[in-house]
Amino acid sequence: MTDVTEAPTQAAAASTVSTMPLGKALTAGLRRALAENDRVLLMGEDIGPLGGVFRITEGLQAEFGPQRVIDTPLAESGIIGTAIGLAMGGFRPVCEIQFDGFVYPGFDQITSQLAKITNRHEGALRMPVVIRIPYGGHIGAIEHHQESPETYFTHTPGLRVVSPSTANDAYWMIQEAIASTDPVIFLEPKSKYWQKGEVDTSAPALPLHASRVVRRGTDVTLVGHGAMVTTLLQAAALAESEGTSCEVVDLRSLSPVDYGPILDSVRRTGRMVYAQESPQFTSLGSEIAATVMERAFYALEAPVLRVSGFDAPFPPAKLEGLYLPDPDRILEAVDRTMAY
């Protein structure tokens, strides 16, 4: 039997945990991937000496050289097309898109080529390409700088789509995405780049495509991804002060979706609210709500409710607070589902 009185001292001695912002955790994860596999390349606009708009690649070109960390022309279609060719040649390119709304010039390459090449070759030709996309609002930016385009990619067979919400997930999920033999859309919640958290560099906590319960509760299941997880946790704290216990599930993987923890939670609470920054119509939240109602119908005490951005283009920065779901809008949905 282990002597529990010695465990804390032993754990401290072997600790590999440090605290860092989510953005720096991504940098650390990219650095480790570059160091461990010389076939890993980074590509993107201004990612070299500048380190990218959000400084995620800061210092990496100086460390690994301009042939591993490549400043590209301002041409997203060219970046993705070049990455596809590099993947055919045995490399593992990681492409950075500066902002979410800038991905559309490369959309045809992603959905018509990258997502389909492996199937076209009956599995004989793999596409280990990662496309990093800073996405979402909360930064007071202009048009095409605060969008949430995840549904376009989750709708596309052949792509894996993931989004971390914590620094630890950012560190490990970027490495797992790079190790994948399939193309991965890696959505980074830009508003959380500066949010600090503990990072354990010893081992990943979960597989890339696993969802996770981040707060236990008994009355309502709250589900979301990326930056919305923090908002859900804030809403859960408000609900608790009013006597409602909310369980929070971090989706982490948007395609494929790990429904196990979500369904287990709903079967215990009987109620669910899904929150997302993207518009509601034909969204990821719509799909998850439909699936939960199909697979856990007899456990539900109320319909699955959704809280989303509005079905309109993202507004000017001064109006983003009205557009984006906040704890109050989520709490209102919690109150509605509890009223059934």
Task: Report the C-alpha gap between 130 and 124 in whole angstroms.
Answer: 19
> Nearest-5° angle of CA 260, CA 186, CA 326?
70
Task: Report the C-alpha gap between 139 and 99 in whole angstroms.
Answer: 12
Q: What tokens were used for 168?
A: 């630890």
Task: Report the C-alpha gap between 171 and 6 in whole angstroms.
Answer: 30
Task: Report the C-alpha gap between 328 and 313 in whole angstroms.
Answer: 22
Query: Which helix or strand (DSSP H or E) is residue 153 part of?
Result: helix 150-154
* CA nearest to 17, candidates 196, 188, 186, 165: 196
The DSSP result for 228-243, as a single string, is: HHHHHHHHHHHHHHTT
Q: What tokens were used for 224?
A: 């979301």
Q: How many CB atoms lie within 10 A of CB 36?
A: 11
Active site residues: 145
Q: Which residue has the tokens 């990218």?
A: 52
What is residue 325's DSSP assignment?
-
> Nearest-5° angle of CA 326, CA 261, CA 164?
55
> Nearest-5° angle of CA 83, CA 63, CA 168?
75
Task: Report the C-alpha gap between 195 and 117 in whole angstroms.
Answer: 37
